[in-house]
Amino acid sequence: MPESSSASLRRALFTVMALLLSLLVPVIAPVSSATAAQDTARGVAADACQPLALAAFGGPGDAVGRAQLAPDGTACFTVTTTEAGRYWPQADGGSDLLVQVRSTDGQLVDCYDDVYRENRHCLLTARATYTVTVVNQHWEPTSTALTVTPMFGTEGCAEPVSTRWDQPTVTRTATTPRSVACLPFEAAPGDRIKVFGRTVDHHGVSSWITDGSGAPICPRFPEDDEDSCVLPGDGPYRVLSTGFGVPDGSPSVDYLVKPYKLNAPRGCPTVPVSPFGPLATGGWSTVPCALVTTSRGGPHLVASVLGDRVSGSVRVYTGEGRTLCRHSAVCVLPSAGTYTVAVDGSTAVDPEPHRLTVRDRAQREGCRAFGTGLYRGELTTPGQYDCLALDSAALPERARIAALTPRDRSGVDPVVELVDGTGAVRCDADRLSDGDCALTGTAPFRLLVRAGDGESGTGPYRVAVYRTDRPTGCAALPAGSFAADGPKAALTTGGGVFAHCLTIPAGTRGASELIQLQATRGDARAEFSVLDGTGRKVCDIYATTSAWTLCALVPGQAHTVLFAGRDVSAAYTLARRDVTAASPAAGCTRTAATKVGGPAVKGTTPTPGGTLRCHRITTTAPSDVLHLDVRDAKGTVIRTVLNGRGEAECLYRSMSCAVTGGTSYLVLVHVVAGPAAPGYRLDAMRMATAAGPVAECVRVPSVAYGYGPVTGRLSESDTADCAVLPTAGYDRFDFAINQVADPARPGSTLSATRPTLYSGEWTDDCVSFSDRYQCAAGTHSSGPAPSVLLFGLPDQVSSASYRATLTCSHGLCGNDKVSATSFTPAAAPGGSKVTLTLKGTALHTDHTVQLTRRGRTLTAKPVSVSADRRTMKATVDLTGIGVGHWSVSYVGRGPQSRLHDLEVTRPELRATTAPKMSGTVAAGSKVTVSKGTWPGNPTSYAYQWKADGRAIAGATSSSYTVKGTYAGRKLTATVTARRSGWKDGTAATAAVTVAKGKAPKATKAPAITGTAKAGRTLKAAPGTWSPTATSYAYQWYANGARISGATKSSLVLKPAQRGKRITVKVTAHRTGHHSGAATSRATGPVAR
């Protein structure tokens, strides 16, 4: 990476390592510490502490103090110094150990290291006996081992070594985790030194450079961001090392430490700048550096070849020993000159045989001329770079090219990049494989080929080069269809062939096409990319045996299709289909959208892995909103919905979706992987028009607390129910849905319906859980946002009865807030139960209505709420309360709603059972009225009979004989109940029409007086009648025949009546009664 970007990274890594080390080693307390453990340690007498000898470099030997520490326990030791200087107390046992050093007067010794900025080395200023205490600050017991090592002197130090890069490798041994190794080295002030170290088993070692006093002389984080050190002072110089990671129970660990000089390095072999192509023989070395002299600056390729591949990181240094490049395969040299190339990292201390290589990326040495087509090459030496110089006639400046490589790994998996004449990279391997690489920059242009990182560095390779902005020699990809026998391009690989190019001619295609790749023989994966007439990629498919993609093609341009697979025997088809509304869509089933709940379209499930079923769904207006869903018993069918422009509206989903904005849509049905059900059902329903949601959707007045329960039965002929919900943004609902048996999984159940909640943006925000659904309104504002809720069939069943309840998940849903604005009646009598009718919004039966007066509170219990939650009925018992005005409040969520007062008046007697009349309601009959039922114990009753609602004078008792004058009128009786201190109560019977009374009957028959002789007068006596008649009518008869006009009470006999017998019929009339009739006895024959 560049030098400027790696400096901060190194600082961060050093900081992390320091933090990790602080967790593994005990804490050496600073002077300012004042903990309870310190106070305990201060009280320990020196003569009670174990004596401890000073440890030497290389290993403490027997100079180890050991102790078992209980929680908060303390162990102490005494050490006697030989001289003033730096000493390092180390105690193993974990980071919860606190190590303190005190002088003979009990004062804490400063152990803070200014260079490493941590408590590390203690500066003991006099030859004396010191007390070292170890405190266990953990809640569990532990064991510890303590050493105190002088950081000065030479006892235990190794023999001095040089700083040459070819110095011999010496394996050294650390015997304990507390060993401090000392390695003197020969160097002069001003030398730039870098120390490498590791254990033999490749664990890290912590090393630092000191002078004879043991003090670190190199900054931990140099200002120049180097990890090397320019030696100050005049020596002697030593490398001190620790942190060997000796595990418990292990006797020792072998390690390696070497200091190398970076400026004017010695012992480095010289390597040349290599040309492209195979590397020259030889050049292998175990020295971790090489000197290279370049004739010019610019980008250079540097690498370390280990075995048969490029391995490990490489660093490039200037002649002064400063880092120029690290961890990068490309190093931009500032100018001509000599540079040091070195193996970086811990392997530099003892590298395996390797080869350091340098190439000028701008050079032309070793390049081979090449145009377009298939290039066959071979990397014969590890670390080899091949160079293909592109033919400027076939591939001129600004042309666009593709460089394809096989997807198999037989031989080398090559990495190809394009560089210009200055060595600058213009296109990497990805852009070359996409075919979107433009020849820009400084000519000439070259392709560089190498083995992939970590791959075997030798073997054959192949690269297919195509010009993509003006392709030549590419076969045409025919326009296809969704029919099974639609045209396709057949492609094969193997026998050295792994790539093909095809062309889509201008004028033979749609603006959007579906391009599908499918393997027909073998299982080798392949890929393709489509490029427009300028060579820019418009779509692609990566590494598959069966896949398709949508390509938005540029109008008026031919397009190039690049195919790349493996060099193995395999066959494929490549098909393209116009998916815009203007296409004939051959092979597509055409279906008009149905109303909500309309029958589903049945289809045969396509073969898993590639076959597409196509449906063209049509509607009448672009403003129509369609619900589209594909269902199958196994839930493996995937659907994709395309609009008239061939753009994906709902991509690769098995869930339902909504589309709008066009009159024609393509629904593509496919199965990615089996098992698949034999058939599927496609729902295509019109949910809304320009006027809003369709009439089939129920309008729900309120969703303040949810919706439901709602029930229904769905089948393949009645596939869905819908409702319009007055939701607001951010609304969330939990769905409780009854379960039905899952036919695909015996013993399991599934939800009886699959809900879809479409927001105003027509997106479905329902999530399915194991036993429920949760749906969101789906908008991003809190304002009104009506939603359409659709209940559809689940995949696995073809019919189901459902019961679903939506519950608002958080607070209130919809736009209403809890409020009550008014109620009726405004007044009510005491001593009874009263029903109050409240008006408001978001009313709920869980809420209450409170009446308060003079410290007393009554609660009205809600009994019902209207569907729109704007009307509530609540009952309150006013028995035993005083008259007057009561304050009424609605108590729901949030603040109370204060309403107007309810006036409680005097108790009023009210009949719970109305009075009833008994007897025959007819003129002349006697009728009686009952009192009815009256709570409140009335003490007296009054009565009033009425005809047609008007009081009948004098009719004020519980019984009444109906006068004939009231026949045909409506008779009622009103009962008035009375009790002292109460309002009178009245109740009336049901009205009954007064029938006519019984007809009068003759108790004495009519009689005729006078002589029955012509010319004489006969008279009729009416007889006696009961009840008494109020008038009579007469009719005379001769021998039983009616005498015309003879209707008076007398009759003058005429000659025509001679010899005939005479009778008279009397009709008695009475007001309000039927009429009665009686006939007299006949006279003798009328004489002459």
Q: What is the DSSP string of 62-94?
A: T--EEEEE-TT-EEEEEEE-SSSEEEEEEEES-
Q: Environment class of residue 873 by beta-carbon count within 10 Å: exposed (0-12), middle (13-18) or buried (19+)?
A: middle
Three-class DSSP category at 985: strand
In eight-state DSSP terms, residue 764 is: B
Q: Are 879 and 831 in contact (CB under 8 A)?
A: yes
- Low-confidence spans in the chain with pLDDT less than 50: 1-25, 27, 29-43
Q: Are 144 and 75 in contact (CB under 8 A)?
A: yes
As its CATH architecture, domain 1001-1079 has Sandwich (2.60)
Per-residue pLDDT reduced to its tens digit, 1031-1078: 999 999 999 999 999 999 999 999 989 989 999 999 999 988 999 999
15 membership: H or E segment, kind and range:
helix 3-24
What pLDDT is recorded for position 289? 95
What pLDDT is recorded for position 570? 95
Nearest-angstrom CA–CA distance, 698 and 708: 12
Three-class DSSP category at 901: coil
The domain over range 697-808 is classified in CATH as 2.60.120.380: yes
Residue recorded with tokens 């408590």: 119
- In DSSP terms, 339 is beta-bridged to 292
Give the rounded distance of the alpha carbon of 1081 from its chain centre.
Answer: 111
What pLDDT is recorded for position 118? 59
Nearest-angstrom CA–CA distance, 847 and 893: 8
Nearest CA among 487, 503, 516, 488 for reference residue 557 = 503
As its CATH architecture, domain 819-904 has Sandwich (2.60)
What pLDDT is recorded for position 802? 93
CB-based burial, 772-798: b 16+ in 10 Å, e otherwise: ebbbbbbbeeeeebbbbbbbbbbbbbb
Q: Environment class of residue 305 by beta-carbon count within 10 Å: exposed (0-12), middle (13-18) or buried (19+)?
A: buried
What pLDDT is recorded for position 249? 57
Q: Cα angle at 705 between 702 and 711, to 5 degrees?
A: 75
Nearest-angstrom CA–CA distance, 677 and 608: 10
What pLDDT is recorded for position 701? 94
**To the nearest whole percent, how much of the chain has pLDDT over 90?**
63
Nearest-angstrom CA–CA distance, 845 and 860: 11
Q: Give the list of residues 6+ apart from residue 257 with CB closer than 8 angstroms, or none.
A: 172, 181, 183, 195, 196, 197, 205, 207, 239, 241, 349
Q: Give the list of residues 6+ apart from residue 672 with CB closer than 8 angstroms, or none.
A: 608, 609, 636, 638
Q: Are 356 and 306 in contact (CB under 8 A)?
A: no
Nearest CA among 689, 683, 658 for reference residue 789 = 658
- Phi/psi for 4 (5° steps) reads -65, -30
What pLDDT is recorded for position 130? 95
Indicate the length of the chain as a whole number.
1088
| Alpha carbon separation from 198 to 244, 254, 455, 593, 793 (Å, rounded) | 8, 9, 27, 74, 67
How many other C-beta atoms can be found within 10 angstroms of the C-beta atom of residue 295? 9
As its CATH architecture, domain 268-363 has Sandwich (2.60)
The domain over range 917-993 is classified in CATH as 2.60.40.2700: yes
CB-based burial, 398-433: b 16+ in 10 Å, e otherwise: ebbbbbbbbbeeebbbbbbbbbbeebbebbebebbb
Q: Are 755 and 766 in contact (CB under 8 A)?
A: yes
Nearest-angstrom CA–CA distance, 539 and 531: 7
What pLDDT is recorded for position 535? 87
Nearest CA among 148, 132, 138 for reference residue 55 = 148
Nearest-angstrom CA–CA distance, 990 and 972: 6
Nearest-angstrom CA–CA distance, 943 and 986: 10
In eight-state DSSP terms, residue 842 is: S
Q: Give the list of residues 6+ apart from residue 525 with CB closer than 8 angstroms, or none.
A: 407, 543, 544, 545, 565, 566
The domain over range 471-578 is classified in CATH as 1.20.1440.230: no
Q: Are 285 and 262 in contact (CB under 8 A)?
A: no
Q: Are 449 and 366 in contact (CB under 8 A)?
A: no
Q: Where are the domains of the chain?
A: 11-150, 172-261, 268-363, 364-467, 471-578, 590-691, 697-808, 819-904, 917-993, 1001-1079
What pLDDT is recorded for position 445? 97
19 residue type, one letter: L
Cα dihedral across residues 444, 445, 449, 453: positive or negative: positive
Residue recorded with tokens 């017998």: 1061
Per-residue pLDDT reduced to its tens digit, 515-563: 999 999 999 999 999 999 888 899 999 889 999 999 999 988 999 999 9
Q: Regarding the domain delimited by 364-467, which CATH topology (the fold level of the hierarchy) does it fall under?
A: Jelly Rolls (2.60.120)
| Alpha carbon separation from 797 to 681, 744, 800 (Å, rounded) | 11, 9, 7
pTM of the model: 0.65
The domain over range 11-150 is classified in CATH as 2.60.120.380: yes
What pLDDT is recorded for position 834? 93
Q: Which CATH number fits domain 590-691: 3.40.50.2000, 3.40.50.720, 2.60.120.380, 3.40.47.10?
A: 2.60.120.380
Per CATH, 364-467 and 819-904 having the same topology is answered no
